[in-house]
Amino acid sequence: MMLRALTLVLLSLFVANLSISGVKAADAVVRIETPMPPPGWALLERELFKANVSACREYYSRYFDSRGFLECVERWGGDDGPDDAIENLTDWPLLHMLGADDSVRDLYLTAWEGHLRQFTAAKTSQVEFARDGMYYREFPVMMDWLHNAEGLTVFNMQGLSAPEAPKFAQRVRRFADFYVPSADNPLQATATANYDASQRIIVSLFNGSRGPLKRPATALDWAGDPIEIEGRFHPGHGERTYAEMLAHFKDYTETLGDHPQNLMVTSLALNAFMATGDEKYRRWVLDYVDAWSERAAANKGLLPSNIGRDGRIGGDANGKWYGGTYGWGFTVVDPVTGKQAHRSTVRLALGGFGNALLLSGQQKYVDVWRKQIDTVNAQRKLIDGRQLTPHMFGDNGWYDFKPEPWHHGALEVAYWSMRNEDLDRVATHPWIAYLRGQNATYPESALRADLSRIRTRIAAMRADETTPDTRLSDDPMKYNPCSVHSLLHLTSGGLPVPLGSALHVRLRYFDSQRQRPGLPPDVGALVDRLTADEVRVTLVNVHQTEPRVLQLQAGAYGEHQIESLQTDTTAIQPVTGRRLTIELAPGCGASLTLKTKRYQNPGRF
pLDDT digits (tens, 9 = 90+) for 123-177: 999 999 999 999 999 999 999 999 999 999 999 999 999 999 999 999 999 999 9
Q: Alpha helix (H) ranges present in 181-264? A: 219-223, 242-248
SS3 content of the chain, % helix, strand, coil (to 5): 40, 20, 45
Burial of 421 (0-12, 13-18, 19+ CB in 10 A): exposed
Residues counted in the chain: 605
Got the DSSP string for 344-410? --GGGGHHHHHHHHHHH--THHHHHHHHHHHHHHTT-EEETTEEEEEEEEETTEEEEEESS---TTH
Single-letter code of the amino acid located at 133: G
Please choose, from the candidates 209, 165, 163, the residue with its C-alpha nearest in 3D space to the C-alpha of residue 188: 209
- Residue 570 or 241, more confident: 241
Burial of 488 (0-12, 13-18, 19+ CB in 10 A): buried
Question: pTM of this prediction?
Answer: 0.95
pLDDT in tens, 1-30: 334 455 555 433 223 222 334 456 667 899
pLDDT of residue 317: 98
Single-letter code of the amino acid located at 166: P
Mean pLDDT of the chain: 94
- For the cut 70, the answer to whether the pLDDT of residue 467 exceeds it is yes
b/e per residue, 513-536, with b = 16+ CB within 10 A?
Answer: ebebbbbbbbbbbbbbebeeebbb
Counting Cα atoms < 13 Å in the Cβ hemisphere of 373 gives 21
pLDDT of residue 188: 61
Q: What is the mean pLDDT of residues 188-212?
A: 90
pLDDT in tens, 210-259: 999 999 999 999 999 999 999 999 998 899 999 999 999 999 999 999 99
pLDDT of residue 466: 97
Q: How far apart are CA 313 and CA 316, in angstroms?
A: 8
Q: Give residue 472's Cα distance to chain centre.
A: 24
Single-letter code of the amino acid located at 12: S
pLDDT in tens, 329-361: 999 999 999 999 999 999 999 999 999 999 999
The 3-class secondary structure across 312-359, one letter per residue, is CECCCCCCCCCCCCCCCCCEEECCCCCCEEECCCHHHHHHHHHHHHHH
Residues 6+ apart with CB under 8 A from 416: 354, 357, 363, 366, 504
